[in-house]
Each structure stands twice: as structure tokens, then as C-alpha cells.
Amino acid sequence: MGIEIDEEMIEKVARISRIRLAPDETKRLLNDFKEILSAFSMLDEAVPDCEPAFHPIEIKNYVREDEPETRIPPDEIIENMDTHQRFIKGPRMQ
Amino acid sequence: MRISGATHYISAAKEGVLDPKAYLSDLMRKLEPHARSLNLFSKINERSDAGKGGTLHGLPFSVKDNICVRGFPTRAGSKILEGYEPPFDATVVERMKAAGGSFIGTTNMDEFGFGTFSTNCAFGAPRNPFDDSRSCGGSSGGAAGTTAILSHHVALSESTGGSISCPASFCGVVGLTPTYGRVSRYGLIDYANSLDKIGLMARSIDDIAIALPIIAGKDKRDSTSMAQPELSISNELIESIAVPEELISAIHDKRIIDMFSASLKKLEEAGVEVARISMPSLRYSIPAYYILACAEASTNLAKFCGMRYGAAWNAYDKMYNEFFTEVRTASFGVEAKRRLMLGTFARMAGYRDQYYMKALKIRQKIVEEFKGVLKGFDVIATPTMPLLPPRFEEIIEMTPATVYALDFLTVPPNLAGIPQVSMPMGYLDDLPVGIHFMADHWDESKLISVGRMWEQRMEYRFPMNLEGSP
């Protein structure tokens, strides 16, 4: 596909993915990306003259009845989270 | 006619010859040391209550670690979900329990399903019961290994690109991946929404035929399950099998090709017409699949950020980006990071058309090609995997691109969302080899029929036959 991948690109992709890489990881992933994208470059020759398939079968939208339902009590849902007075704790925004 | 494990168990329980409670308690005692030494389970259910009545009468079932079980640790093979206990059952678990199944534990898997050998599990790789120096296959490796050692059991497993068929082949069991949308994905910790399918592993096709109607069917909580026609399993006449030449010629192990040819001959002798056909678009399956799967995974896994599920990261003095980055860096494994980054890359501005959109079009082409062939043939067949279960030291030497390329037989039907079943085809060096049958969308009945036909011509071997005393 003629795409030049370098360490800078790997670091950019990691940053967007919210992953921090050690220098040796960056190097290893650069090699992996080069090998994988080189194998994927066979797609260059493919010229599919059709619409994209977002699903393998035809999907329609179905909506449930607009009726209130408490399937899982909220207190049970927040049991998996760090909370304070039933508010979910999170990191600082600024 | 073979008497399957589940059929045998259910009729014994129905007749009162077998007490499900005593059976289960004895089985769990026997299972524990083997499950531990082979690392098959993420967690065994030590408080397992025997199911009652229903269709299953307490038949034991295991659940892949990425399918939610209420109040039971569910980690999808990832450290980032350590400590997570879902407050609900996935629809498939709810249905198995309601049908009288006994939940025995969650089985080990590659982290989020990212792998071919289950070696990317944060809690250690499951080992193959045929030879514990070898892989069970992936990503549902623990499910396949468990099925290989238990006489009466079905495993809820899941496939995105071959994660049922590959381990079923390596562990010598039957693995059915239904049509995309046939089984509700509600409660599945998703890898790639447009590719994930929950399916089954068991010791015979009849066991699958018992369990599939329980878990299949519409579910309002998964809109992709709502388009399905009703599942109806009957004994259908299988008259023709197509064999895609491109896939067979890419297999390097001649012994596997020879065994496959001999298997086709057996079916021809039974009156089935076998034809070699060409499916040229399949050569693009691997890049198209990995681009789509990784792109979807990279968005799905964004929710794992140390706040809502599992690993809690109490560093609240950190800014939110730094906080998320820290927990993800520390908790995701190497392959998870690689796939998240590949997916992010494929979706980035400037590369989206070149990778993601093109892969979607290739998927359409492959769907059309499969449907075209299946208009003229009942099923398509290939070997399931191009190699025998490898040793762990051989896997370490493989590069990621090499591992991805090994999925070339299982990825095409998964990309097309058609149902498929892997069944033991024979044994080489005392290791199992699988045969893979594929049918048209919603045609699981044809797979059950070809499976029954195959089992009349094949004797299975299992490395262990653990069962509870009646």
C-alpha cells in the first residue's frame, strides 16, 4: 500500500489508543506493523465492485416497547465500581 | 447409531437411574485436579447447584470466560476485568440454566478472543489434554479442552474468526458456530460486534442438536438476533459437497490433505457428489478479516478504562487521559495492544478508505461468493486447520503475521457469517485433525445432517472420560 510506517506513527497510534509504550515496545510494534501491513498490501490489487457489508446478514432495526423495566437494580450495577454516596468516582477533568 | 454423551446422560437422569446432584458433586471432585493441571478453567464453580428438569436434567455446561454469568467472576482472559462480577446472566446462560443445565465454571481463553492458540490469556494458556506440551487452539481453548475430558457436558463458546472451530479441531471435539444472529449476544463481552457468534462444543453432533435449540432464537436485547427464521432441525439428505480449491492448495501438510481426500472418498461412497470449485475472493479473507475485527475491537475496548468494570484504578489525582492510559497500559496484554493499535490505525483519517471501507466491500464479495456456491451445493468442506496442534515452544517462534495467516481456513465462513461445524476427521501422531463443514445462512440443520452422516463413518477418541458416579 506504499505506506511508510515509522516510530513516530506508532507512538501517535498508541497515544490515540490510550496506551503508553516503552521504547523497546515501540520498536517491536513497528516491526510487527511493517510485517502485517506488508501482508495486507495484497488488498491493493482487489477492486471490489459492490457496496460495503457492515454486517454479514441483512439487519433491520427493532425497537422494544417503550415500557419501564428495572432488570438489574442500580445498586447491583454500581457494585463493580468505585463509588461515593452512589456516585461513580472518576479522574480529574482539569 | 451412536449414543451421544448428552443423550445418554439425559435419558439416565429422566429414568431416575442417575441422580443429577450426586453425579455433579462427584464429577466436580474428579474434574478439579485435571482442570487445574491443564489450566482449562478461569474459575471452577465450587458452589455448583445441579440443574433440575427441563431439557437437560442437570447436564453440566461450562461457559467461555467472555460470557457473563451473574455473580461469578467473568474476565474475558484479561487482567483489566479482574474483580468484575456481572450483575446479570447473558441470555445464553439464562437459557441453559432455565433448561436445567448445571453451570460448572468459566473456561480460559485468549484475552478478549485475540488469538489462535489461547496463549494470549492473562491467566496462563490452557494445555491440550491429548498432549499437554501443545496448544488447545484458540480462542476458546479451555472450552475445547474441557469438552475433550468430560463425558457428559456441553461448552458455551464463542467465535469471531474461527475461535470455536480451531480449538474443536485441536482437541478432537465437535464445535458448531451458528449463523451470525442465530444466538443472542446479549451478555457477551464483545470483540467485534459484526463478527461475534456464540456457539457450542460437545462430543457429538447429537449433543449439539440438543443444546442448539435451547440457546438459539430471538432476543429483544440483541437486535441482530431478531432477523432469524425459526430453527428447525431435521434429517436432511446431503447430496453434494463443494471443495474450494484455493483453500486446499494453500495447506502445506500433505498428511492433512491426504486424510481430507480419504474422508471425501468415504462420503462419495455414501452417494454424495463431491466437486472441486473455485472461490477467488477468499484469498483476501485474512487482511479483510483482521482489519474489520481490529477496527471494531479498538472501539469496543474503549470502555475498559478503569472505572466501570473490573480493575479499579484509584489514582484520582491524575488527569483523565493519563488515568485511562495508565490502567490500559498496565492491564492489556501484548496482543490486545497490538490489535487495538492496528484497529485504530485502520480507522484513522487518510487510511479509512484504503483499509476499513475496502475490507467491508471484500466481505460483501465473499458473502456473495459463498451464497453463489451454496445455491448449487448442500455444504462446503475443507480441513479445519492447516496444521496439527503446535507445541508452546513452536508458538513462541511465530510472528504475529504468521499466526494470523494460519486462520485462512476458518476466517472465510466467519467473515461471511455462515454456520460451520468442525468435527474430528482422524488422528495423526496421536493428535486429532478436524474436518470443517459450512452451510448457507440459517441452515444449521444441514450441518447437523452432514455431521450425523460423518459420525456414522468415524470413531472418535478422547484423551479422558471423566464422569460422575450415578
- Given the C-alpha cell 452422516, which residue does it identify? B453
Could you tell me which residues are beta bridge partners of residue B433?
A: B426
As for the ipTM of the complex, it is 0.94
pLDDT in tens, A38-50: 999 999 898 888 9
- Backbone φ and ψ of B414, nearest 5°: -70, -40
Other beta carbons within 10 angstroms of residue B15's beta carbon come to 8
Domain count within chain A: 1
* CA–CA separation, A26 and A14 (whole Å): 9
- Report the distance separating Cα B241 and Cα B204, nearest Å: 21
Contact yes or no for B418 and A56 at CB 8 A: yes
Mean pLDDT of B6-16: 93
B309 contacts A80? CB cut-off 8 A? yes
Are B97 and B89 a contacting pair, CB within 8 Å? yes
Task: Locate the domains of chain B by residue range.
Answer: 5-236+413-455
Gap between the Cα atoms of A13 and B411, Å rounded: 26
pLDDT of residue B307: 85
In one-letter notation, the amino acid at residue A2 is G
Count of CB atoms situated within 10 Å of the CB of B83: 12
Q: What percent of chain A has pLDDT over 70?
A: 97
**Rg of chain B taking only CA atoms, in angstroms:** 21
The answer on pLDDT for A1 being more than 60 is no
Closest CB from A16, A19, A89 relative to B337: A19
Q: Identify which of B366, B421, B383 has the alpha carbon closest to the alpha carbon of residue B178.
A: B421
Instruction: Indicate whether B36 pLDDT > 50.
Output: yes
Q: So what's the pLDDT on residue B1? A: 43
Residue in chain B lying closest to A32 (CA): B400
Residue B134 β-bridge partners: B391
* Domain B5-236+413-455 = CATH 3.90.1150.10: no
What's the pLDDT at A2? 57
State percent of chain B over pLDDT 90.
Answer: 93
Tens digit of each residue's pLDDT (9 = 90 or more) over B382-419: 999 999 999 999 999 999 999 999 999 999 999 999 99
Chain B, window 358-397: residues with a beta carbon less than 8 angstroms from a chain A beta carbon: 358-365, 367-368
- Length of chain A (residues): 94
How many angstroms away from the CA of A31 is the closest CA of chain B? 10
Task: Please give the average per-residue pLDDT across B76-91, as a whole number.
Answer: 95
State whether residue B340 sits within 8 Å of chain A by CB: yes
Kindly state whether residue A17 falls inside one of the protein's structural domains.
yes
Instruction: Kindly state whether residue A40 falls inside one of the protein's structural domains.
Output: yes
Does the CB of B83 have a partner CB in chain A at under 8 Å?
yes
Q: B256-290, pLDDT tens digit by residue?
A: 999 999 999 999 999 999 999 999 999 999 999 99
Flag whether A41 is in a domain.
yes
Q: pLDDT per residue over B188-241, tens digit each?
A: 999 999 999 999 999 999 999 999 999 999 999 999 999 999 999 999 999 999
What integer pLDDT is reported at residue A61 of this predicted model?
85
Round the CA-based radius of gyration of chain A to a whole number and report it.
Answer: 23
Q: Do B360 and A54 touch (CB under 8 A)?
A: yes
Q: Could you tell me the CA-to-CA distances from A78 to B5, B8, B70, B127, B187 in Å, in that order?
A: 41, 43, 14, 36, 17
A20 within domain boundaries:
yes
Total residue count of chain B as it appears in this document: 470
On chain A, the residues whose CB falls within 8 A of the CB of B310 are 80
Report how far residue B436's alpha carbon sits from residue B459's, in angstroms, rounded to the nearest whole number.
Answer: 17
Mean pLDDT of chain B: 96
Range of the domain at A37: 7-45
Q: Which helix (H) or strand (E) holds B425?
A: strand B420-428
Average pLDDT over every residue of B44-64: 94
What pLDDT shows up at residue B232? 96
pLDDT of residue B2 exceeding 70: no
Q: What is the DSSP string of B243-299?
A: EEHHHHHT---HHHHHHHHHHHHHHHHTT-EEEEE--GGGGGHHHHHHHHHHHHHHH
